[in-house]
Structure formats: structure tokens, C-alpha cells
Amino acid sequence: MIHPTKDALKTPPGALLEGLIVPIPKSVCTPVAYAEAIGDAYVSSSKRNYRKSGGHYITPVAVARFMADSFPLSGPHARVLDPGSGTGILSAATCEAASNRDSIKSLHVDAYETDPLLARFTSLTLAYSRDWLARRDVELTYDVRNRDFVLEYAPELKTASDANRYDVNDGFRAEYDLVISNPPYFKIGKNDPRAVAWASVVHGQPNIYALFMAISAELLAPFGELVYIVPRSFASGPYFRRFRETFFRRVAPKSVHLFESRKDVFKDQSVLQENIVITARRRTEDKTPGELQVLVSHSKGAHDLAERRRLLVDFDSVMDPASENRELSIPLCEEDVKLVQILRTWPNRLHTLGLKISTGPVVPFRATQFLSHAPAGGSLAPLLWMHHVRPMRTTWPSTAKEKPQWINAGPQSAKLLLEDETYVLLRRFSAKEEKRRLVSAPLIRGSLGSDMVGLENHLNFVRGDSRELDEELAYGLSALFNSTFLDRYFRISNGNTQVSATELRALPLPPERDIRSIGAAVKAQPRLGTELRELDALVAGILEISPELCTGLESVVE
């Protein structure tokens, strides 16, 4: 495929559209190059806050072509849906891909875009693509709809005009061979008409991109496929559970590509998300999910897509058939696959051990009147922040002076304090690029010399529920949380930099006797707790996990 650069465009003087100079293409310019030039003009001339409010993030050229090439096009005719089309670069990439398939003789594209200016840009891109394909003996027809895609297909808002595409028994008629989309990304209120219309697939305050995905899955024809670039956040957690149930009931993952960097995909667009490209096929009755395989790949960003690393795994490796949560795991190497298989055999969760996990109750900006930088009179208790928690050790007070390290222990602040007990502390946040996502330390009763303790809101803490959390169990759990095994499993199953209590509740844990054996060993040899490689060796030996597996995982983490 020929990929001319923007040098193939006549930039000045161009055509004036809504105050923007739109480049005029030469005949050798590809549709993607033309759409890219329009996108550059749009980004340079529009305000970032305006684009952010509409959830507009222009798809990079390399990603657009990767997405368009990620599914097969067969002919002689194909119907394509591009919801949230922006400048039409994904439609343009699809047209380029179609030109390389000898079987394709005609293509129809339906594009949705709520922004009137972007809808006109999509029309320009598709008009150029039509002429470009015509010279290659492929007919393109298209319909650009300046309407809200989500409301367009809201079940209770259907009208008589929908009769040609809606069946009262089966819902909207599945008619698209492929759906390709970089949907808008922003949260909508629970009373938003779009959230109300699709209440069956949302929970709490939903993100608009999940509604795009759910509707697209419903619109796929038999053997149809969709490809989306979206944040990974939908893949786990309670807020997207209803969506996952709906989405994965209709489609099965075919491939998943993970961008490891949160910054390198949408450069200069203020996007800090762990993004994936997911390709999924309409479920058919001839194959059960257990018979399918999924291609998993990863790259740092868009610039090294050509060098992406690939792994073909069984369907069960990305979606646990025994789980009701339909969470999407992303193993990146053979060691990841083995780790998932091992941890799925572990019998416990925190609640089965008689423990519970909560989030620190002290929200600093709401409790400023109770916080103090120095123990100067009055009844004060230690206040612990994230920086006080390091692998296997709680260090308080710290030398950091910018955070208050004391909290008033009087009656007015009583609801913010915890009794001096034995806890397991975990940081709630980490940078995506940090080596460890899980950082944990035991806090032993009496170690701070206070009857009460305050825990800041960026910490999670494990405590006894139906039983007491004793020292041995606390050390054992902390060692497990700090191990490469559990940290890597968390990364495989979760793309968030926030370590929420909900996800920690779901983490599998080994038999209690093994946790206690780990805790006893760490207590007897405190140095092991701070040497993570030695800690991994200890955990692997007690749990009878191959040391070579840990070595393979470390190479991925590092």
C-alpha cells in the first residue's frame, strides 16, 4: 500500500470552511493522508477545551491503518459503520484496506458525528475516498449523519421512520459487516437521556464510549466484526459489569492490542489512559468460546506498532469461564498465561479469610481543621499517607515536610480515626510506568505508640472482620501483595493506576496455611521483606511455583 505524506497536499490557500483552511488534495494523496491533514487543521485551529468537552481525540495515522487492517474484508459488498467519525480518518483507512482486497467491489459507509463541523469534515474525507476508490474499480457510497449515535438507536425512542431497520421482536436489525470507531470519551450523568435510554448496560455515572461499544455489538451482521480503540477501564471493575455482560454476550474477542504507554498514542492531546484496540466478532453457534483463540499483542505506543509483540492464547486465558464478572485479562507472555492458570486455582479471597478491606477515611481537603504538621499540644494521632507505605515496611513519621503527619484525636474527628489494631496497608495509586502496581506493608498493633491512627484516603487497609487479623497473617498477606506474582496478575487483569478496594476483594489468595507460612518466614527474617527478589523466591518456594516463572514475569515488569 502506498502511504504518501502530507507533501502530497496543497495546503495554502486551500478552501475556507468555518474559518479553517482545508487542504486541497492532489490526485496521488491517499484518503488517510487527506483526513490527517484535515485533522491537523482542526486541532491547530480549535481550542483544546472544546475538543475535550466533546470527547474528540483524533486517531493517529498509524493506529487508524492498524485498526483497518486488523480484520478481514470479504466481498463483493461490505457495509461499514463509523460512529463518532471525527474527520473520517477511520473510514478513510477502511477504504484504503478495501482497495487491497480483490474481492471487494463496493463499499457502503454510514458515519455518525454530532459535531456539525466534524461531520462536514467526514463528508469531505469520504467524498475524496469515493473518487480515490473509483480509480481502483471500487464503488463507495456513504451517508454522514449529523446525529447522536446513542440516541439514534435508543430502543424506547424509535419512531415510525425506523421501521426499515427495527424489528419489534429482535431489536435493531444487524446489518453491518464491520464497525470501526474511536468513540468519544467522557462521563455522562445518570439522568442524561443517553444513560436513561441504555440503563440496562450502565451503572452509576457511565462513560459514553461504553454505550457506543454496546450498540455497535448489537448492529453487527452474522460473522460481522467490530474494532474499537478505547480506554482499558471497561475490562474490569464493578462500574462496567453490566456493560461487559451485554457486550460479551453478543461478541467474542478476536484480538486485543495493548498500548503500554499512557502518553504515546494520542500525543499532544492530553490523554492519560491505558488504551487498547479490541477486535471482536459476532458470536455464532458453530463455535463455543472455549474453542476460540485470541491474538494478544502489545507495543509502547503508536510509533512502534510494526514491531509489536504477539501471543496467540486460548479464549479462557483472557476471560475466566468460571467468573460471573466477564473481566477481560490481557496476558502479554507465556509466563502470564501460566500465572493466570495457577492463581485461578487459589481458593481464597479476603472475605473467605474473615477479613475486609476499606479505604482510608481521611480526605485532607475536608479535614484541614484537624490536621497538624507538628505534635504541638492537644490530643493527636499519627496520620499516614501513601509515602509512609513502602514494600513490607511502614515508616512514620517521614522526613517529608509538605504533608501534615498528625490528626486531632478529639470527639469531632472521631469518625475519621481507627483504633490501634494490626492492619495491612496498600497504596491506592501508582504511576502506570512504575515497576510495581501493588505496594503493601503491615501496620502492627502498638508500633506507632498511639491508641488511634488516621489513614489518608489514598490508602486501602485490610482488617479483621469475623476474626482478628494477627501479625503472622498480616505479614503473609503483605508479602503476597508485594510479590511479583500477585502484582503481575493485577496488571494482567486490570489497567487502572488506581488500586481500588473492590478489585483487591476479588484477588485470588492461596490457602491460609501457606499465607501463614510466608508470614512466619518473613517475621523470622525481616530483611527478606525489603529484598523483593528474595521475597519472590520465598513465596515461590512455599507456594510451589517454579522460580523460572518469576524470572519471566520480572522481565515483563521491568
In the chain, where does the domain assigned CATH 3.90.220.10 lie? 351-557
| Separation between Cα atoms, residue 258 and residue 301, nearest integer Å | 9
Instruction: Give me the pLDDT at residue 124, please.
Output: 92
Greatest CA span in the chain, whole angstroms? 85
Print the SS3 string covering 130-146.
HHHHHCCCCEEEEEEEC
- Cα separation, 119 vs 42, in Å, equals 12
User: Which pTM value belongs to this model?
Assistant: 0.85
Classify 351-557 by CATH class: alpha beta
Contacts 24+ apart (CB under 8 A), 525-533: 529/391, 529/392, 529/393, 529/475, 529/478, 529/479, 529/482, 530/391, 530/392, 530/393, 532/391, 532/482, 532/483, 532/484
500: cell is 481500588
Chain segment 393-437, per-residue pLDDT in tens: 999 988 777 789 999 998 999 999 999 999 999 999 865 556 778
Tell me which CATH homologous superfamily contains domain 48-338.
Answer: Vaccinia Virus protein VP39 (3.40.50.150)
Amino acid in the structure at residue 534: E
Between CA 468 and CA 464 the distance in angstroms is: 5
Residues 354, 427: Cα–Cα separation, whole Å:
22
Amino acid identity for residue 14 in this structure? G
In this predicted structure, what is the pLDDT of residue 326?
Answer: 85
Determine the 3-state secondary structure of 527 from DSSP: helix
Helix ranges (H only) for 219-333 are: 241-250, 315-318
| Long-range contacts (CB closer than 8 Å, 24 or more residues apart) made by 409-414 | 409/379, 409/380, 409/381, 409/450, 409/451, 409/452, 410/378, 410/379, 412/370, 413/367, 413/370
What pLDDT does 70 receive? Answer: 77
Q: Across-strand partners of 195?
A: none
Residue 357, classed as helix, strand or coil, is strand
What CA–CA distance (Å, rounded) separates 61 from 225?
A: 21
Can you read off the three cell numbers belonging to residue 222?
Answer: 452474522
Q: Which residues of the chain have pLDDT under 50?
A: 1-13, 16, 156-170, 558
What one-character DSSP code corresponds to residue 261? -
Look up residue 448 and give its amino acid.
L
**So what's the pLDDT on residue 201?**
81
Specify the pLDDT at position 165.
45
Instruction: Classify strands 355-359 and 459-464 as parallel, antiparallel or unpaired.
Output: antiparallel
pLDDT single digits (tens) 87-136: 999 999 999 999 988 889 999 999 999 999 899 999 999 999 999 999 99
**Where are the CATH 3.40.50.150 domain residues in the chain?**
48-338
| Cβ contacts of 236 within 8 Å, gap of 6 or more | 325, 327, 328, 493, 494, 495, 496, 503
How far is 362 from 384, CA to CA, in rounded Å?
A: 9
Residue type, 121: F
Long-range own/partner contacts, residues 290-293 (CB < 8 A, 24 or more apart): 290/314, 290/315, 290/316, 290/321, 291/315, 292/252, 292/254
**Which of 172, 178, 162 has the alpha carbon at shortest distance from 222?**
178
CA dist 135 and 364 (Å) reads 64
